[in-house]
Chain A
């Protein structure tokens, strides 16, 4: 049967990605002085799991790097090596390499192998180099005490065997049909790869034991200079020590078969362990019921007898050089211990359950007997008692372990939840969700239409209908919210990529930064969440580069050396507010102003701080004295602002010199629906986004002032705001020409406030945004359109644009 492995790739990719992210997260949180062993274990396990998967699915590059990573991690988690910041750095680098390899496999693109090799080398260096002191200490002592003192035990040499165990493979190369001359030649050739020993086996073949870093392919390539490929058999020896044992003993190894007629289970085990002292042991039950131990040893019969005599009387032993079991004899030249082994698979015998009884009479018999033994041993009254105690013990055990590690339990729960998700979630194309949202939008419009029609009916006569419509309204709203929530994703999706970036940047700039996030669970529309990443990245960079000072400077100003950078998200009304705040130097008003003058921007000393801060969003604006490679090239803040505006959001700055800066991005929850206030102007209805309205008022005559060059102003509790008459902006006819006759809607966007003069307020409602650009064309001051309950089209005002237009128009229109 052939199974297409590629069908599991996707699952592996996702899993590996998750594990990598998890490992990175843990690495960033690691306390270097006293790392939590559970965390180290978890990181180790992540590497281990990826290695297992990568190897299974044939992604050898990933398997290789996780292998060295795992070795190093293992050493650290076993406290054989102290964790250092350098370790964390190289682990993170390895994580990046793995990520790119993963991406490479996923999309079939090329991966930069040079970085890969560099990281692998660094991991190896750490593994070898840093392991040295500890290992060498012990070794030096041992050697000096037990053996002849060796003067020049350099750390490198003494640690070498340990290193070789993991990095160097031991291969057993068996070559058929090889004459003596060629065998010497081949020995020389293979010597190029590493340590080689060779001997001639009893069957005439020549066996080489090769210790090398190279792979079997290289060995084959080398061998083919002298012999035919089909005559070569390569197996990997288990580890250095076993290979060594073999290398030493193979010259005069002999296989003995020790047969004992009757033995109980305990003595079988004893025999095995005793005989294992002499060499490799294999046990089998012969068809006649007697027990056979085959022993590969360099010792003679006498030793075997003396060792066995602890267990079995010597006269009961039958020792010979030939096996009674023919099939076993055939397999003899394969190394075997006390289990049946094929490459990569083995069984400890005997199996407790009957196996293929028809084909293997030998095994089934032995199993049967084993079963009988089991019954005899645990005779009727003993057996249940045993089971009982076990059952009592086990639940207690499982209960005790988890509470002792509360953190682990919690983790497990999330993991479990994760695995449950696998089964309870479905993947749906985003276009299907969008279609659903669109349809619900239409439904909302239709529902509003019905509601409006019904509101014209007599509520007493049509009480039932009115109630039902009320019900429909609620249902529609619930449905709409439910549908919208499909597209919602937690901000964590964005936040989670910052800790690493902050760490790397801070290191690069030699700053100390503590990074905290709040409100990662706040949800935002998927479309918005993806588009907010770039602007946020830019702001975070700016904060670290320009905001947070270098530790010395912070100390001078009496602040903690470690700067604090906070990313937070919260839901305010219908908006999501995302803030990047630092406790750095704050924005420098003077420098911004002078820079603005240089750039020819219209500025004056009387501008409010807020207005000054807004200047940094001008294209090409940068106050950074030094352009670093992190930020400060002057491209950026205007792009940030443009991106945020394109999302229907706004960005505000709060800053105090010496105390830091907070950049606050306010975004609509979703792009599709908007809470709006409908206002009237002449015969038309316009919609103003509710979140941008501060208040509405009917002004008194005495509060309205005319300021030369600024047009009409309104005094709102001491604050003078420009009045922007909407009819003048849109050049529309209306009978209401003076603010006292109409309504002023106080708007605030991008740090600026203005009073929009309209005829009146109509009502507040949710509207479904339809793009005017795609259906018609872009109109200045209008961000979109919507269909009202009565079926008419209303334009949605673009508030920031209106405020700007008002400023430009004030002189010409309203003197």
Chain B
């Protein structure tokens, strides 16, 4: 401590202590002259030894305290210390001006201590800035926000809060939240939820609140709350937010209305579409037999609209001959595991005994609960069916006429060719007899007529040879072919005819068939003939399903076998010998040449055609043909089997 201050110079210990503290201390006399200062004052404020005894106001560093002399006078007069802010460049100090007393308790002057508050002041400034910044952000938020105490008393809100609820800051300060807004938030659950949230047991569940605002009408608000906890502060506060979802609610309501309208429109579309296309739809839950029936289907079935539809009710309409068909279709589908679309045709027998033809397409789906459900579209194809039947009849008649015409032409042609030489033979023979009977016999003439007879005989024989050539093996075209593919083509061609006859066709085509060499068209004619025969044989059947099975399989590595099994009238054991004869038939409209032609075609392929009686009803016709008929073996061998197989 610098010397020159009366009364304390004796306490050298105190001087040493003052010199060790980092806070500048300056002593000022009653006459405002610098009495003394410590080391920190010299270091921090830049005072020098020569400053002792100079008036304060002449010390440049103390210019930051312009009212120092008045303040010192006041302290001396009152005996009470005062504080002043002091700035030196970037540094901020708080100056404490305290009275200094002598040993006899007389106030001899003042002591100034300079506490550096620069760092503190900066953080305070920052805090003020942050607060103002946050406040302006909160005020720009359009949704009302309010901070409340745990007992729901309002502490402060943002601008939107006050304007939305039409209240002022002053009148709501400290008011419980459930008392503002005409008690809109006086919800029983609100306080309970607050307590649970603050206890940390449950998060706050947003609450939807309807509130009528003066001039704005009814609004829907979502009230949410979040605890605001400051680390180190036990006192919690809660931020309550309000979100106005009125516009969104109205948009949703409008959308609901719109989708309802769209739904109505698409339902109307569907109904009109069903009416125009005469197509109805239904769904059938198999486990519960719950059936949903479209309006158009009611009309098609001529059920009174709204009557609960049951399987029993449906059965009263389905043609008795087709009931088993429906059951069968279901079983077939289930055997396949469902899921695939399948279609079938059946008839309805209406109360007035008229018949309607139905075409149904259905598929099974697994509902969410794993239950099997059928969805089906059923079209009334009666009109189409009737015209189709007329067309088929016309076509059949035409085909018959064409066949008869062809056969007639052929017969006439054969007859002409044969009758000419026969005529010559008979005439010559007659002449010959007459010449030999003459007296004397005209032997030369007779010899000439015999010569001509032989010539004409040969001519007749040539005609037969030519016919053989015409219908013989040479006219066939052979190719390497897949019998399954050929069979599938025939099935495709016959399907509507088969379904029209109520026949359920099952194709069981072997998947390892070798290729065969033959005339594709001729073999297809045989297959078609067998299918037609089988269908015709089941014409009168009504006590069991008209099931037809067409099967192909490999036969002992050297050929393939195709069989057609029907459930028809079958045949008597004694008929089996004549069955393959030409012009033998049990059918009223048949010509009886199908089986005989079929057998000759198969034999031309070096195969066999035969018939067996089933154990149950009906018969099975089958043929076998070797893989490669003799003579074609080489070409068949050079063609790899897999090139055409299993398509």
**Do A and B come together as binding partners?**
no
